Structure 1
Amino acid sequence: MPVITIAQSKGGAGKTTLALALASEFEALGGSVFMLDADRQNSLLNWHRDRIAAGRGGDSRIMVEDASQLRDADIGVAINKAREVAQLVIVDSEGTSNFKTAYAAMDSNFVVIPTRSSRLDLERTVETSEMLGKMCGGVPYRVLITQTGQVARSKAEWEIDSQITAALPTFAEQMHTLDAFRAMSNFRMTLGEVEEHKLAKTEKARIIAQSILANILDQIQNREAVDA
């Protein structure tokens, strides 16, 4: 089953939000998702536990397991076990540079590097991409620019975006700052549940998440066809 690792050595780039958005839309398609929370902040795990405590998610096809306490080299074992029980595996890595992220990427079919439009994020993004090249040669990846405004952008942000797209493989989509994405965390819901309960407008958020997910799965499928 496909494995996606979300990797970024700088915190606050939206890794967990992206993981939830991708899982939400894959589940909406009828698929099952196993998410490994390798970040010691346990944002994904807390989201999952709070859902269960609130009586939501009992029949959900999204599973979450704590991988933050595993030894770095053991993340591969956890990934393989997750592959046995779900149709998609997502690893939410820690917002620091560590070997666990590298090991997870080695056992992944695709890596997404979320980044904000800032100089510091760009520097950490380049570091993450270099790590993938040196330690995980061959694993495909793309950079996703996150937390952008839909209309108002500063000249500095546009400049950083252009540097990112010129230097690294980048998604055409950007993950805008939208109420629907925040609502997933605030209300411990998937995007579909946020829409069902009318807690935020979800159309744009779901289109973005669906497009990113489709892009990733297409690239994985194309890579497998070439390797076959």
Structure 2
Amino acid sequence: MPVITIAQSKGGAGKTTLALALASEFEALGGSVFMLDADRQNSLLNWYRDRMNADRAGEGRITVEDASQLRDADIGPAIARARDAAQLVIVDSEGTSNFKTAYAAMDSDFVVIPTRSSRLDLERTVETSDMLGKMCGGVPYRVLITQTGQVARSKAEWEIDSQISNALPTFNEQMHTLDAFRAMSNYRMTLAEVEAAGLAKTEKARRIAQGILADILSEIQNKEAVNA
């Protein structure tokens, strides 16, 4: 089953929000998702535990396992087990540069590098890209610009976005700062659940997540067809 690793050596770029959004929309399609939380902050794991404690896990098509305490070399076997447990595996890596992230990427079918429109984020994104090139050659990846405003953007942000897209493979979509994305964490819900409960407008957030997920799965399928 496909494995997506979300990697960024700088914290605060929206890795966990992206992981939840992708899992939400894959589950909404009827699929099962196994998520490995390799970040010691355990944001994904806490989201899942709170859902379980509140009896809001639904049909249980999203599962989260703590991978933050695993040794670096043990992330590969954990991914292999997750492949057997669900139709999609998502690894939320730690917001630092480490070997566990590299090993996870090696065993993945696709890597997403989320980044904000800032000079520091751009520098860390280039570092992550270089790591993928040196240690994970052949694993496709794309950069996702996150936490952007829907309308108001500064000249500096536009310039950094342009530099990113000119230098690295980048999604056409950007992950805007939207109430629906925040609501997933605040209420321990998927996007579909947020929509059903009327807690935030979700149409744009779901369209963005669906578009990113479709691009990833399409690229994975294309690579598999070439290698077949």
**Same fold by TM-score, threshold 0.5 exceeded?**
yes
Shift of 1:179: 0.1
Aligned to 2:190: 190
> Aligned partners of 1:53 and 1:213: how far apart in 2?
29
Aligned to 1:55: 55
The 8 Å contact of residues 13 and 116 in structure 1, kept in 2 or not, is answered as yes
Q: Which amino acid aligns with 2:225?
A: A
Aligned to 1:145: 145
> Aligned partners of 1:166 and 1:80: how far apart in 2?
35
Aligned to 1:46: 46
Aligned to 1:173: 173
- For residues 132-179 of structure 1, give each alpha carbon's deviation from its aligned partner in whole angstroms, at most 9, with x where no partner exists: 000001100000000000000000000000000000000000000000
Q: Residues 78-93 of structure 1: matches in 2 within 5 Å?
A: 78-93=78-93
Q: Residues 63-212 of structure 1: matches in 2 within 5 Å?
A: 63-212=63-212
SS at match of 1:171: coil
The 8 Å contact of residues 7 and 15 in structure 1, kept in 2 or not, is answered as yes
Shift of 1:188: 0.3
The 8 Å contact of residues 112 and 142 in structure 1, kept in 2 or not, is answered as yes
> Aligned partners of 2:138 and 2:25: how far apart in 1?
27
SS at match of 2:171: strand
Q: Which amino acid aligns with 1:61?
A: R
Shift of 1:60: 2.5
Where does structure 1 differ by over 4 angstroms across 4 or more consecutive aligned residues?
Answer: none
Shift of 1:58: 4.4
Q: Which amino acid aligns with 2:159?
A: E
The 8 Å contact of residues 21 and 190 in structure 1, kept in 2 or not, is answered as yes
Q: Normalising by the residue count of structure 1, what TM-score does the alignment of the two structures yield?
A: 0.99
> Aligned partners of 1:218 and 1:59: how far apart in 2?
27
Aligned to 2:16: 16
The 8 Å contact of residues 52 and 58 in structure 1, kept in 2 or not, is answered as no
Percentage identity across aligned positions?
A: 87
Q: Normalising by the residue count of structure 2, what TM-score does the alignment of the two structures yield?
A: 0.99
Q: Which runs of 5+ in 2 are unaligned?
A: none
Corresponding residue pairs, total: 228
